[in-house]
Amino acid sequence: MEEAGIGLMIREETPKARSTATKENIEIQRSTSSPYQNMALLPGVNAFATDATGLFGGTMTMRGFTSDQLGFTIDGAPVNDSGNFAVYPQEYVDSENLEEVFVTQGSTDTDAPHVGATGGNVGIVSSNPREHFSTRLAQTFGENSLSRTYARLDTGKFANDTTSAFISYSKSLADKWRGLGDADRDHVDAKIVRKLGEGSKLSASIVFNHAVNNFFKRMSLSQYQASGRNYDYATSFPGLLTPGTGTQNENTTVGGINRTDYYALQVNPFENYIATFKGNFKLNDSMRLDIEPYFWHGYGGGGFGTTLAENNSALRALNGGSILNLNGDADTSDTVLFYRSSVTKTDRPGVTTKFNWNIDNHKLMLGYWYERAEHRQTQPYAYVNNDGTSKDVWAENSLAVLSNGTVIQGRNWDTISTSQQLFAQDSISMLNDKLNLIFGVRTPKIRRDGTNYLSLGNTTSVTHPSANYSDTLPSIGARYELSPASHLFANVAKNFRAPSNFILYDATRTKDAVPETSVNTDIGYRYQGDKAYFSGSVFLIDFKDRFASMRDADGSYRTYNAGDVSSKGLELEVGSKLGRGFSTYTSLSYLDSKQKSDFITRNSLNQLITLPTNGKNFVDSPDLMLGLGLQYQSGGWSMGGQLKYTGKRYSTLMNDESVPAFHTVDVNLGYKFARNSVLKNSMIKMNISNLFDEDTLAMIDSSYPNAVSHTANGVTLAGSAPQYSPLAPRFASVQFLADF
């Protein structure tokens, strides 16, 4: 695979806009970096990490699409949440085991297994086992008590040189950079590959992740202005009230602290694994069959401090009309502190089958994808210790129950999402291979069958809501070779995103219960020479029923229908190898994303109001982004820097609140030691993020229609304060690595 720049460009022949972060670039990043951080310089990508380590997650947009509007895969298996399509990058493959991360901006691939992608897809590709036996050990240390130990064992070839495998384990720990709390992550990657003959093989892999993190507190603009970037949850706990006669209320402020705001109650425990299997069979010189089953399992959820009143009307209804004694004292008039966790358990088997046939000047592909995901979502209430910690952060034990022993739930949903898709593509080579035409079509559809059990949100009866969503999505692309080193390309594709599953359980969200669709058009030019690559494209995207994103208190994303939106823009990237050890990369992104309709909503009095949003900029869509990378290598030394400029972004549909433009600079320095009889490869690497300690709001965690109160025709809609996360301060780490 040919590369240019600093490992952020490879030779591309696709008629779509596409960019790639290769192993070369991933290796110069911090060892704990998430895929979001690996993609940060690519055109169209606006990525942020909650902290510099990447262990606490983050957000990204691409051409203004949020991550839950993009399709994410690991080795071909979909990893977006099956309910709301959210993405959690800190759960994925360890960076040492990554081969590449690629993005297709705007257009989803024809064979991509997605029902929730209107803005393109992101592919995470893991590395294969090495051909020779080896072991790798790496240790990372950094500020905020960062410690990461990584070990990998490769078997090399065995079984008559037909099979190879690897397994790796990493342990990562880090403190939050503001407030108290930490991240604790255990991770395992493993893969085995067996060659069956020329062009055929079997492989299997597993990605396992177990993590318990404390949340960072999101903040409004006014909170940031008043308290600065270190604003966070309370670091002291007033203690629980002693149960006794009379009313006890643990939802009161003591010394300026509300018990629910204590940092130890803001916890995100989650465990998941992704098992993928691949059977790739060459049937003859012109036919091949690929069968790729997978299984995704996840369990955990975001926990927060909350209180529950014993005389709560919903609680009384669940308890057969009688008041429940939650704290075991002599009365039933108290308000009791709990740790409430939004628990999700997902079991998600699926399979993609593809048949490829080369006949004359045609490359035909026909395939089918099927998946059945069970999404069990509950909200139990766990009791709290006197020191302010939950009795069980996983919310499996020490739970509040009704008089009949049933666990009290804030929500109690079970969703079966059955997804399937037929897809076909014909790639036609013409004019002595100078012209390539690609015609594709896919037919994604999803059926959601829900069960809404009794809970504080549903006190009447068990219901079984359901919904079906489907579409037919054509695409056409063309690539024309101007010379062996350059070509023109163009692509038009329709994309589709089904509504999230929570809409099944919320009768007030019927306006949102329609799929989002987009039509993306790309026209571009690529030059791929010996020492320099260039890619440039212009794009136009028309949306119907565009979704915008807000975030619940438990950290999960919800969406609201913002109507029709039109986006247009320009993306450029240039990578070069200048000689004398220097390599450069530059990306430029321009985006003009405008709403095409006014936003109709209701206020707290259920009165209709129309916000004049037509012609205003869409949320979290920076007008300009610039990425610059410079890398130098000589002998064993390597050093480099990356600059990312992000333009102004609005956080409301009314454009009455925004995040200013800012830039960050990251640097890296490494030294590779000479090979010897014991150490096949050893190096030391230092990374510094946000070198100049830029202090600004960065992530828009929750956008809203309006931040300032608005009145129209005598009806007033109060403003809602968007929520943000600030840019993490300067951070340094060092890694030691050795192969034996």
Residue 3 contacts residue 9 (beta carbons within 8 Å): yes
Q: According to the model, what pLDDT value does residue 509 have? A: 60
Name the strand (E) or helix (H) holding 32: none
| 364-409: pLDDT as tens digits | 999 999 999 999 999 999 999 999 999 999 999 999 999 999 999 9
Q: Which residues pair with 531 in a beta bridge?
A: none
**Beta strand extents in 236-286 (DSSP E only):** 253-254, 257-258, 267-284
Give the mean model confidence (pLDDT) for residues 17-33.
94
Q: According to the model, what pLDDT value does residue 512 have? A: 60
Q: Give the global pTM.
A: 0.94
Neighbours of 676 (CB within 10 A): 8
Give the mean model confidence (pLDDT) for residues 481-499.
96
Tokens 């000479």 appear where?
674
Q: Based on C-alpha coordinates, what's the Rg of the chain?
A: 26
pLDDT bracket for residue 3 (50, 70, 90): confident
The H-assigned helical ranges of 294-365 are 313-318
Cα 600 to Cα 65, 89, 611, 667, 708: the distances in Å are 22, 34, 6, 47, 16
Q: Is residue 34 pLDDT above 60, yes or no?
A: yes
Within 13 Å, how many C-alpha atoms sit on residue 600's CB side?
9
Contacts of 327 (CB under 8 A, 6+ apart): 243, 248, 310, 334, 336
| 500-549: pLDDT as tens digits | 998 899 876 655 678 999 999 999 999 999 889 999 999 999 988 887 76
Give the mean model confidence (pLDDT) for residues 116-132.
93
Q: According to the model, what pLDDT value does residue 558 have? A: 60
Within 13 Å, how many C-alpha atoms sit on residue 269's CB side?
17
Q: Is residue 182 pLDDT above 70, yes or no?
A: yes
Size (the chain), residues: 740
Q: Among the listed ranges 244-258, 531-545, 553-567, which one has the minimum average pLDDT value?
A: 553-567
Give the mean model confidence (pLDDT) for residues 171-181.
98
| 450-462: pLDDT as tens digits | 999 999 999 999 9
| 663-674: pLDDT as tens digits | 999 999 999 998
User: Phi and psi (nearest 5°) for 111?
Assistant: -95, 10
Q: According to the model, what pLDDT value does residue 107 have? A: 85
Q: Are strands 486-497 and 547-551 parallel, antiparallel or unpaired?
A: unpaired
Residue 443 contacts residue 423 (beta carbons within 8 Å): yes
| 573-630: pLDDT as tens digits | 999 988 889 999 999 999 999 999 999 888 889 899 999 999 999 999 999 999 999 9
Classify residue 151 as exposed, middle or buried by CB count within 10 Å of its CB (0-12, 13-18, 19+). middle
* Gap between the Cα atoms of 324 and 317, Å rounded: 10
Q: Is residue 300 pLDDT above 90, yes or no?
A: yes
Q: According to the model, what pLDDT value does residue 503 have? A: 87
Tokens of 436: 């390539």
Contacts of 545 (CB under 8 A, 6+ apart): 514, 515, 516, 517, 561, 563, 564
Task: Tell me the residue range of the domain where 329 lies.
Answer: 3-127+134-739
Q: Which residues pair with 518 in a beta bridge?
A: 495, 543
Cα 11 to Cα 18, 98, 434, 532: the distances in Å are 10, 19, 16, 11
Cα 151 to Cα 213, 543, 645, 740: the distances in Å are 22, 46, 36, 11
Q: Is residue 296 pLDDT above 90, yes or no?
A: yes
Give the mean model confidence (pLDDT) for residues 677-706.
92
* Gap between the Cα atoms of 623 and 15, Å rounded: 25
Q: According to the model, what pLDDT value does residue 219 have? A: 96
Q: Are strands 120-126 and 71-74 parallel, antiparallel or unpaired?
A: parallel
Tokens 């100049």 appear where?
692
Q: What is the secondary structure of 618-672 as a DSSP string?
A: PTT--SEEEEEEEEEEETTEEEEEEEEEE--EESBTT--SEE--EEEEEEEEEEE
| 215-246: pLDDT as tens digits | 999 999 999 999 999 999 999 999 999 988 88
pLDDT bracket for residue 554 (50, 70, 90): very low
Name the DSSP letter for residue 418: E
Contacts of 208 (CB under 8 A, 6+ apart): 187, 188, 189, 272, 273
Q: Is residue 553 pLDDT above 50, yes or no?
A: no
Supply the CATH number for residue 315's domain: 2.40.170.20
* Gap between the Cα atoms of 172 and 648, Å rounded: 34
* Gap between the Cα atoms of 208 and 229, Å rounded: 33
| 639-659: pLDDT as tens digits | 999 999 999 999 999 999 999
Residue 415 contacts residue 448 (beta carbons within 8 Å): yes
Within 13 Å, how many C-alpha atoms sit on residue 347's CB side?
3
Q: According to the model, what pLDDT value does residue 629 have? A: 96
Q: Is residue 551 pLDDT above 60, yes or no?
A: no
Average pLDDT, the chain: 94
Of 577, 587, 582, 572, the C-alpha closest to 644 is 587
Q: According to the model, what pLDDT value does residue 486 have? A: 97
Q: Is residue 319 pLDDT above 70, yes or no?
A: yes
Number of domains the chain contains: 1
Give the mean model confidence (pLDDT) for residues 113-135.
94
Q: Which residues pair with 490 in a beta bridge?
A: 478, 523
* Gap between the Cα atoms of 72 and 102, Å rounded: 10
